[in-house]
């Protein structure tokens, strides 16, 4: 029976319970603009969500030549028709009246409207001058996890072989660099081992620093449906906030932020002490066990209890849950990745699975999760500080092979050092060795740490900044040239979600004004720069999305992320498909490492690994002697205290992150009425205990200050761990009265005014989750509550706050799918 729900008030919608090993039932979610009904939709255009890494498949409704709503795709393996709140309402941002529709160029203090020829000529003439005067190392590209595969691949070829610069990275550095690094450290290669289908089979699901309910709401619906079915899984949640996951967990550990590694070492200690390991698996598939066992020998629950500030008994309980699981699924995200021992901690979760033999079978999986919708493609295509196709920059054969694909000399492709990471690129720009920075699809003036520094880098006169975006963001305001981009729904391409599922996204409507797809912009630049291969033919031989995809397939051939068996025709109409897809696996690959660790072999691996404490690269010779047969590497690491700990002046630990209704710097979700009303402004979460102790209350105006800067917001007491403050990082300045960065008279509100320029030594991912901060009340509240949702981790502990609802404009329908099929067992 069809039902309808306010999907702001009920973000996860109605339950469709199912039992262990059964197929997740279908539920098709639809939201159409007011006045549009199924009969007035002219046609439906296939795509998937671009507002998180889940890859929720959907169709765009087109009416009157405009996007008029969305409907989940019932047949897709990822969501079986379901959509989350951002999926249902987010499309409205495309039609915002303030979309950029003409290129802008700088004229003194102002950006003025221009045309493509003028704007692109400025970019190419600066590029040519810099190449002559300062060489390729003076040009850097900072891209994103939100373009399409075809666009990243084109950007990589033009940057690495056209310009010949080593300075190309994505904001994936802030996002999933640790996921990639942890996989490289353990398995020698990037590539998600597990599958979302493991949720159907697991009896224990462990979530480490991952608020999946808010950040991948559709997979949370899947977990909720299993919790309501027969033989439900038990959940372990490791998170200092009272997230919806924490509330549903059998065991919730709320550690002191920044102590994940101590906790994990204790969990490994307990697993080994109780003989909960799988010696046959360890022998057959791993190296390094003895060293790991020795290193965690003294890491007792009691030892970790002090560091993490959680009772030892709770740690033992968690260890028992993990150690007795018949099929264990673990997911890992920013609570682990954005801290000082990010890679070291993420790797211990891989270790836990390996020593228990929990890999490569239904329900036994690791999801080193992605965040952004297309971050996987940034990584595969080498737009992220890696070489394309997971090739190893230290392996000359891999470089030669890539050079053959591109028909250039191997020396054309910089591989004298690891590709430059984003934090280093901003440092080079600060020091003046990078003189042109081309920023596409990211908003660093809100999303990088220590914003005062970022603003001062981007506003230097000597740095030529190109920004390619949909809106005049805080970053675009600082640019020398602004290029208006088309986005999702307005261009065609493919992208790959966090469990390797590739989806096709078709163009539904034309972009506004003169806006162009990122692919067309990059192709235009390459043509104007006249990049050549070694035979003086054009370096870039493709001209549209499909021909770019075909070119990428050739680059991926024989590599782990093999796309050779895919085509636009194959992706059109049906479900997304999980790579590798090739002759051996024509319908895709649900799980990696089903029989052995296939890609860690010294000739194949993407990386020889790093020292987890210093980040120093392991040499090929060392790797070969450590791991001659290519098994999984069990790497141990000792816990170190966070770099910045509370003091008398800065007594709180500050952590930052997300809320369900917004995406990042809100360029899209802030322009969507249903979503923005649910969380219209920044707030500061504090524990009820600290609020009482300091005589603070809901709605008080407070300042959060660190040595880098300050922000102001309204206070929300919650069930958060005492001693911790949480601030969502979504709120920049474009929709404040001033419309731009704070100055002496207007206070900051962006979380990153306060965060520190510091990163994990191995993955180079910045530390957004641990800083020391001071809290001051500026004014008592006037009875108005903090502008924070009540449906999420920010749920208030005071009963007086009205519940978050969306009203009639937030209604979406939910249609049940065919039931007989859903009862069938599947493996």
Ligand X SMILES: Nc1nc2c(c(=O)[nH]1)N[C@H]1C(S)=C(S)[C@@H](COP(=O)(O)OP(=O)(O)OC[C@H]3O[C@@H](n4cnc5c(=O)[nH]c(N)nc54)[C@H](O)[C@@H]3O)O[C@H]1N2
Does the footprint of ligand X cover residue 241 (CB under 6 A)?
yes
Q: What is the CA radius of gyration of the chain?
A: 25
Spatial contact of 631 and 186, defined as CB atoms under 8 Å apart: no
Closest-CA residue to 140 (of 99, 168, 177, 171): 168
Between CA 663 and CA 677 the distance in angstroms is 14
- b/e map 26-38, b = 16+ CB within 10 Å: bbbbbbbbeebee
Between CA 347 and CA 179 the distance in angstroms is 9
DSSP secondary structure code for residue 613 in this structure: T
Spatial contact of 48 and 577, defined as CB atoms under 8 Å apart: no
User: Closer CB to Mo ion, residue 183 or residue 715?
Assistant: 183
Between CA 764 and CA 170 the distance in angstroms is 12
Task: Give residue number: closest CB to ligand X.
Answer: 371
Treating both helix axes as pointing N-terminal to C-terminal, what angle do 116-133 and 518-529 enclose, rounded to 10 degrees?
Answer: 50
Closest-CA residue to 54 (of 552, 576, 821, 567): 576
Between CA 302 and CA 273 the distance in angstroms is 14
Out of Mo ion, ligand X, none, what residue 85 binds, judged by CB under 5 to 8 A for its kind, is none
User: Closer CB to ligand X, residue 277 or residue 343?
Assistant: 343
Does the footprint of ligand X cover residue 549 (CB under 6 A)?
no
User: Closer CB to ligand X, residue 253 or residue 399?
Assistant: 253
Closest-CA residue to 718 (of 247, 234, 221): 247
DSSP secondary structure code for residue 194 in this structure: -
Distances (CA, A) of 144 to 149, 183, 577: 11, 20, 23
Among 175, 177, 224, 561, binds Mo ion (CB under 5 A): 175
User: Closer CB to Mo ion, residue 338 or residue 589?
Assistant: 338
Out of ligand X, Mo ion, none, what residue 331 binds, judged by CB under 5 to 8 A for its kind, is none
Pairing of strands 168-170, 139-143: parallel
Min dist CB 174 to ligand X, Å, is: 4
User: Closer CB to ligand X, residue 195 or residue 706?
Assistant: 706
Instruction: Sketch the per residue contact string, 365 through 384, with Mo ion: x for CB under 5 A, - otherwise.
Output: ------xx------------
Instruction: Sketch the per residue contact string, 426 through 455, with Mo ion: x for CB under 5 A, - otherwise.
Output: ------------------------------
Which residues fall within 8 angstroms of residue 696, CB to CB, at 6 or more apart? 686, 690, 702, 715, 717, 777
Out of ligand X, Mo ion, none, what residue 792 binds, judged by CB under 5 to 8 A for its kind, is none
Between CA 409 and CA 403 the distance in angstroms is 6
Out of ligand X, Mo ion, none, what residue 667 binds, judged by CB under 5 to 8 A for its kind, is ligand X
- b/e map 173-209, b = 16+ CB within 10 Å: bbbbbbbbbbbbbbbbbbbbbbbbbbbbbbbbbbbbb
Does the footprint of ligand X cover residue 257 (CB under 6 A)?
yes
Among 22, 374, 505, 755, binds ligand X (CB under 6 A): 755
Out of ligand X, Mo ion, none, what residue 185 binds, judged by CB under 5 to 8 A for its kind, is none
Cis-peptide into 547, omega within 30 deg? no
Only segment of 82-90, 363-371, 475-483, 666-674 that touches Mo ion (CB under 5 A): 363-371
User: Closer CB to ligand X, residue 23 or residue 643?
Assistant: 643
Only segment of 101-109, 435-443, 585-593, 681-689 that touches ligand X (CB under 6 A): 435-443
Instruction: Sketch the per residue contact string, 478 through 517, with ligand X: x for CB under 6 A, - otherwise.
Output: -------x-x------------------------------
Does the footprint of ligand X cover residue 243 (CB under 6 A)?
yes
| Number of Cβ within a 10 Å radius of residue 286 | 21
Out of ligand X, Mo ion, none, what residue 158 binds, judged by CB under 5 to 8 A for its kind, is none
| Residue 335 CA from chain centroid, whole number | 12
Out of ligand X, Mo ion, none, what residue 340 binds, judged by CB under 5 to 8 A for its kind, is none
Min dist CB 669 to ligand X, Å, is: 8
Could you tell me which residues are beta bridge partners of residue 813? 4, 30
Min dist CB 419 to Mo ion, Å, is: 19
Instruction: Sketch the per residue contact string, 197 through 226, with ligand X: x for CB under 6 A, - otherwise.
Output: -----------xxxx--xx-----------
Instruction: Sketch the per residue contact string, 632 through 671, with ligand X: x for CB under 6 A, - otherwise.
Output: -----------------------xxxx-x-xxxx-x----
Main-chain phi, psi angles of 703, to 5 degrees:
-115, 135
Does the footprint of Mo ion cover residue 489 (CB under 5 A)?
no
Distances (CA, A) of 528 to 123, 515, 632, 649: 10, 18, 46, 55
Min dist CB 653 to ligand X, Å, is: 9
Does the footprint of ligand X cover residue 371 (CB under 6 A)?
yes
Does the footprint of ligand X cover residue 73 (CB under 6 A)?
no
Does the footprint of ligand X cover residue 442 (CB under 6 A)?
yes
Does the footprint of ligand X cover residue 348 (CB under 6 A)?
no
User: Closer CB to ligand X, residue 61 or residue 451?
Assistant: 451
Q: What residue ranges bind ligand X (CB under 6 A)?
A: 52-53, 144-147, 171, 174-175, 208-211, 214-215, 238-241, 243, 255, 257-258, 260, 333-336, 338-339, 371-372, 440-444, 447, 468-471, 473, 485, 487, 518, 655-658, 660, 662-665, 667, 729, 751-752, 755, 768-769, 793
């Amino acid at each position: 029976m069809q039902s309808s729900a306010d999907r702001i008030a009920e973000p996860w919608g109605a339950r469709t319970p199912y039992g262990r090993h059964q197929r997740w039932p279908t539920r098709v979610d639809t939201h159409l603009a007011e006045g549009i009904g199924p009969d007035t939709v002219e046609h439906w255009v296939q795509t998937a969500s671009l507002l998180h890494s889940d890859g929720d498949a959907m169709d765009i409704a087109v009416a009157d030549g405009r996007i008029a709503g969305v409907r989940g795709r019932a047949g897709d393996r990822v969501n079986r028709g379901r959509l989350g709140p951002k999926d249902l309402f987010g499309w409205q941002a495309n039609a915002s009246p303030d979309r950029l529709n003409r290129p802008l160029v700088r004229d003194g203090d102002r950006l003025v409207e221009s045309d493509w020829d003028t704007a692109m000529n400025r970019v190419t003439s600066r590029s040519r001058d810099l190449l002559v005067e300062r060489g390729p190392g003076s040009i850097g590209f900072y891209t994103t996890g939100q373009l399409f595969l075809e666009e990243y691949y084109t950007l990589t070829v033009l940057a690495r072989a056209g310009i010949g610069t080593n300075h190309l990275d994505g904001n994936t550095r802030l996002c999933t660099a640790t996921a990639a690094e942890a996989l490289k450290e353990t398995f020698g290669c990037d590539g998600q081992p597990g599958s979302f289908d493991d949720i159907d089979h697991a009896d224990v699901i462990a979530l480490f620093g991952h608020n999946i309910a808010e950040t991948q709401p559709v997979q949370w619906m899947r977990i909720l449906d299993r919790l309501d079915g027969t033989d439900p899984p038990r959940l372990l949640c490791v998170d200092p906030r009272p997230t919806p996951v924490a509330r549903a967990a059998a065991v919730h550990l709320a550690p002191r932020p920044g102590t994940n590694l101590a906790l994990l070492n204790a969990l490994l200690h307990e697993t080994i002490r109780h003989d909960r390991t799988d010696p046959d698996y360890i022998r057959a598939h791993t190296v390094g066990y003895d060293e790991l066992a020795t290193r965690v020998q003294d890491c007792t629950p009691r030892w970790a209890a002090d560091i993490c500030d959680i009772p030892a008994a709770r740690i033992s309980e968690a260890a028992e849950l993990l150690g007795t699981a018949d099929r264990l699924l673990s997911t890992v995200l920013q609570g682990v990745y954005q801290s000082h021992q990010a890679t070291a901690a993420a790797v211990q979760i891989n270790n836990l699975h390996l020593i228990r033999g929990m890999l490569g079978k239904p329900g036994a999986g690791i999801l080193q999760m992605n965040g952004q919708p297309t971050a996987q493609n940034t990584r595969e295509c080498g737009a992220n500080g890696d070489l394309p196709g997971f090739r190893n920059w230290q392996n000359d054969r891999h470089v030669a092979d890539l050079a053959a694909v591109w028909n250039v000399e191997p020396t054309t492709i910089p591989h004298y050092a690891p590709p430059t990471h984003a934090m280093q690129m901003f440092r080079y720009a600060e020091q003046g060795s990078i003189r042109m920075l081309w920023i596409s699809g990211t908003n660093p003036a809100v999303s990088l740490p220590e914003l005062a520094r970022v603003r001062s880098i981007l506003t230097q006169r000597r740095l030529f900044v190109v920004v390619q975006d949909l809106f005049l963001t805080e970053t675009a305001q600082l640019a020398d040239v602004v290029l208006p981009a088309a986005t999702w729904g307005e261009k065609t391409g493919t992208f790959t979600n966090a469990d390797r599922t590739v989806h096709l996204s078709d163009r539904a409507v034309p972009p506004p004004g003169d806006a162009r797809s990122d692919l067309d912009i990059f192709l235009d630049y390459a043509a104007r720069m006249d990049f050549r291969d070694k035979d003086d033919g054009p370096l870039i031989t493709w001209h549209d999305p499909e021909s770019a995809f075909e070119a990428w397939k050739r680059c991926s051939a024989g590599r782990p992320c093999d796309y050779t068996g895919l085509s636009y025709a194959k992706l059109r109409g049906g479900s997304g498909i999980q790579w590798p897809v090739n002759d051996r696996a024509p319908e895709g690959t649900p799980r990696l490492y089903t029989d052995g660790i296939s890609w860690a072999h010294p000739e194949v691996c993407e990386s020889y690994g790093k020292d987890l404490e210093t980040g120093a690269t392991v040499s090929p010779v060392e790797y070969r002697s450590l791991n001659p047969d290519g098994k999984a590497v069990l790497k141990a690491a000792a816990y170190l205290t966070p770099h910045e700990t509370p003091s008398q002046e800065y007594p709180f630990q500050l952590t930052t992150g997300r809320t369900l209704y917004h995406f990042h710097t809100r360029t899209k979700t802030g322009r969507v009425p249903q979503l923005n009303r649910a969380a219209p402004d920044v707030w500061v979460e504090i524990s009820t205990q600290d609020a009482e102790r300091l005589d603070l209350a809901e709605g008080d105006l407070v300042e959060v200050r660190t040595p880098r800067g300050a922000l102001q917001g309204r206070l929300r007491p919650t069930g958060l761990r005492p001693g911790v403050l949480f601030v969502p990082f979504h709120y920049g300045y474009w929709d404040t009265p001033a419309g731009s960065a704070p100055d002496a008279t207007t206070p900051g509100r962006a979380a990153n005014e306060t965060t520190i320029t510091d990163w994990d030594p191995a993955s180079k991912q910045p530390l957004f989750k641990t800083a020391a901060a001071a809290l001051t009340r500026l004014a008592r509240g006037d009875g108005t509550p903090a502008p924070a949702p009540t449906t999420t981790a920010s749920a208030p502990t005071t009963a007086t706050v009205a519940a978050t609802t969306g009203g009639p404009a937030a209604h979406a329908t939910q249609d049940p799918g065919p039931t007989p099929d859903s009862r069938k067992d599947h493996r």
